[in-house]
Amino acid sequence: MAITVPISMGYELEVKAKAAEVFEVLSDVPTSVSFFPKVDKLTDMGDGVYKWEMEKVGTAQVNIQTVYASKYTSSKPKGTVTWKPVPGVGNALVGGAWKITDNKKSTHLELKIDGEINVPLPGLMKMVVAPVVEGEFEKLVEKYLANLAKRFGGEV
């Protein structure tokens, strides 16, 4: 039995780096992922597909590891980096997009993430587990954004 926890979030920030530099970092998946906390392993599966294996969270008796794969595509003219979930890999489906806008003196970033994580626990636990899983994911994404902001010379 498993609980499916939906994830949907959006963020915006303005950084000091040039749009070309920001695109370079965000469109290079291993470089971008190096700023994401608690990634145990990132595997290049070829053809723009990367498998994420997050660190296990929880206790020795009860722990959860999120594993998923996404197919990445990027377009410098459009200023986008997008990823779509690859079904059948791991216990989560995660998709999203970066939108990079050049504001001459700064770069505006929009991040959207949508997905679902399947947690191997009884349905009765959903009310307790879902907010914890959502909160953990949110904290990781916020730390990722803070790490990227630092890499890009800070927020404007």
pLDDT band at 151 (very low <50, low <70, confident <90, very high): very high
Q: What are phi and psi of 151, to 5 degrees?
A: -60, -35
Q: What is the CA radius of gyration of the chain?
A: 16
Could you tell me if 77 and 98 are in contact, meaning their C-beta atoms sit under 8 angstroms apart? no
pLDDT tens column, 116-148: 999 888 888 889 888 988 998 999 999 999 999
Residue 33: which pLDDT band, with cuts at 50, 70 and 90? very high
Structural domains of the chain in order of their starting residue, each with its CATH number: 3-151 (3.30.530.20)
How does pLDDT run across 67-91, given as a tens digit for each residue? Answer: 999 999 999 999 999 999 999 999 9
Instruction: Note the pLDDT tens digit of each residue in 88-101.
Output: 999 999 999 999 99
20 contacts 154 by C-beta, under 8 angstroms:
no
Tell me the pTM.
0.94
- State how far the Cα of 100 lies from the Cα of 80, in Å rounded to an integer: 6
pLDDT for 129 equals 85
